[in-house]
Structure 1
Amino acid sequence: MRMAQIWMHHLGYRWKKSPRGQYVDGHKRDDVREYRDTVYLPKIAEADGCRRVWNRDGKEDEESRARRNPNEPVVVDHYHDETHFTANDRRDLRWVHDDEKPVPRAKTEGATLMVADFVSADCGWLCSPDGSLSARVLFKAGIARDGWFDNNDIIRQVTLAMDILDEFYPHERHRFIFDNATTHRKRSDDALSARNMSKKPTQAGKATWGVWRTKTGPDGKPIYGPNGKVVKEKIRMADARFSNGEPQSLYFPEGHPRAGVFKGMAQILIERGFNEQLINGLRTECKGFKCPPSSQWDPEHPCCCRRLLYNEPDFVSVPSILEMHCQARGYEVIFLPKFHCELNPIEQCWGRAKRYYRELPPSSKEADLERNALESLDSVPLESIRR
Structure 2
Amino acid sequence: MKGPWFARNLRKWAKAYIEDRDNLPVHLYGSSATSRIDDEGFAAEIQLHLQSIGKFIRALDIVHYLSDPEVQKRHGLKKTVSLATAQRWMKKLGYRWKKEPKGQYSDGHEREDVVYYRQHIFLPAWANLQSRMRIWEHNNVNIEEIRSHTTRRVVVWFHDESTFYANDRRKLRWVHIAEGAVPQPKGEGASIMVAHFISADYGWLQSPDGKETARILFKAGKNRDGYYTSEEILKHTKQAMDILDKYYPDDEHVFVFDNATTHVKRADDALSARKMPKAPSQGWGVEVTVTNDDGQPLYGPNGKPMKRKVPMAPGRLHDGCLQPLYFPEGHLKAGWFKGMGQILEERGYDKEWVRKLRAQCGKNFNCLPGARDCCCRRVLFNEPDFVNVESRLETFCRERDFSVLFLPKFHCKLNFIEQCWGFAKRVYCHYPPSSKEVDLERNVITALDSVPLESHQETGEVLTKVYLALYILIILEMALISIILLVRKMMLDNRCFS
Give the alignment's TM-score, normalised by structure 2. Answer: 0.71
Q: Distance in 1 between matches of 2:271 and 2:91?
A: 60
Per-residue deviation at 1:61? Answer: 4.1
* SS class of match (2:404): strand
Among 51, 59, 63, the alignment partner of 2:142 is: 59
| Contact in 2 for aligned 1:363/1:372 (Cα 8 Å) | no
| Contact in 2 for aligned 1:57/1:383 (Cα 8 Å) | no
State the partner residue of 2:368: 292
What are the Cα deviations for residues 143-183 of structure 1, in whole angstroms up to 9, with x where unaligned? 11111111111111110100111111111110000011111
Amino acid at match of 1:319: E
Among 396, 399, 405, the alignment partner of 1:328 is: 399
State the partner residue of 2:324: 249
Q: Distance in 1 between matches of 2:375 and 2:96?
A: 54
What are the Cα deviations for residues 206-244 of structure 1, in whole angstroms up to 9, with x where unaligned? x42111112234564433333333321111101111122
State the partner residue of 1:198: 277
Among 34, 44, 68, the alignment partner of 2:126 is: 44
Q: 5+ residue gaps in structure 2?
A: 4-84, 459-498
Higher relative contact order (CA 8 A, sep 6+): 1
* SS class of match (2:359): coil
Per-residue deviation at 1:57? Answer: 3.1
* SS class of match (2:130): coil
Asked if 1:176 corresponds to 2:263, the answer is no
Asked if 1:258 corresponds to 2:258, the answer is no
What are the Cα deviations for residues 328-357 of structure 1, in whole angstroms up to 9, with x where unaligned? 000011111111012100001001111111
State the partner residue of 2:195: 116
Change beyond 3 A, Cα 1:14–1:53: farther
Q: 5+ residue gaps in structure 1?
A: none
Note the 1:358-377 alignment, pairs <5 A.
358-377=429-448
State the partner residue of 2:35: none
* SS class of match (2:115): helix
Number of corresponding residues: 374
Change beyond 3 A, Cα 1:371–1:218: closer
* SS class of match (1:46): helix
Per-residue deviation at 1:14? Answer: 8.0
Amino acid at match of 2:339: G
| Contact in 2 for aligned 1:81/1:118 (Cα 8 Å) | yes
Among 288, 303, 306, the alignment partner of 1:231 is: 306
Among 378, 390, 405, the alignment partner of 1:319 is: 390
Change beyond 3 A, Cα 1:121–1:218: closer
| Contact in 1 for aligned 2:315/2:324 (Cα 8 Å) | yes
Note the 1:96-245 alignment, pairs <5 A.
96-202=175-281, 207-217=282-292, 220-245=295-320
Per-residue deviation at 1:275? Answer: 1.5
Change beyond 3 A, Cα 1:119–1:276: same
Note the 1:59-98 alignment, pairs <5 A.
59-62=142-145, 65-66=146-147, 69-98=148-177
Among 349, 357, 373, the alignment partner of 2:428 is: 357
Change beyond 3 A, Cα 1:53–1:7: farther
State the partner residue of 2:116: 34
- Greater shift in the superposed pair: 89-98 or 248-257: 89-98
What RMSD over aligned residues (CA atoms) do the two structures have, in Å? 2.4
* SS class of match (1:289): coil
| Higher percent of residues as helix | 2
Q: Distance in 2 between matches of 1:189 and 1:8?
A: 53
State the partner residue of 1:270: 345
Q: Distance in 2 between matches of 1:91 and 1:185?
A: 37
Q: Distance in 1 between matches of 2:354 and 2:130?
A: 46
| Contact in 1 for aligned 2:170/2:429 (Cα 8 Å) | yes
Amino acid at match of 2:133: R
Per-residue deviation at 1:58? Answer: 2.3
Asked if 1:384 corresponds to 2:384, the answer is no
Per-residue deviation at 1:52? Answer: 0.6
Amino acid at match of 2:181: P
Amino acid at match of 1:237: M
Asked if 1:341 corresponds to 2:406, the answer is no
| Contact in 2 for aligned 1:52/1:60 (Cα 8 Å) | no
Asked if 1:304 corresponds to 2:383, the answer is no
| Contact in 1 for aligned 2:231/2:295 (Cα 8 Å) | no
* SS class of match (2:162): strand
Per-residue deviation at 1:16? Answer: 4.9
State the partner residue of 1:279: 354
What are the Cα deviations for residues 257-282 of structure 1, in whole angstroms up to 9, with x where unaligned? 11111111011011111122221111
> Percent identity among equivalent residues?
56
What are the Cα deviations for residues 343-384 of structure 1, in whole angstroms up to 9, with x where unaligned? 100001001111111111102211110011111111111111
* SS class of match (1:158): helix
Give the alignment's TM-score, normalised by structure 1. Answer: 0.90
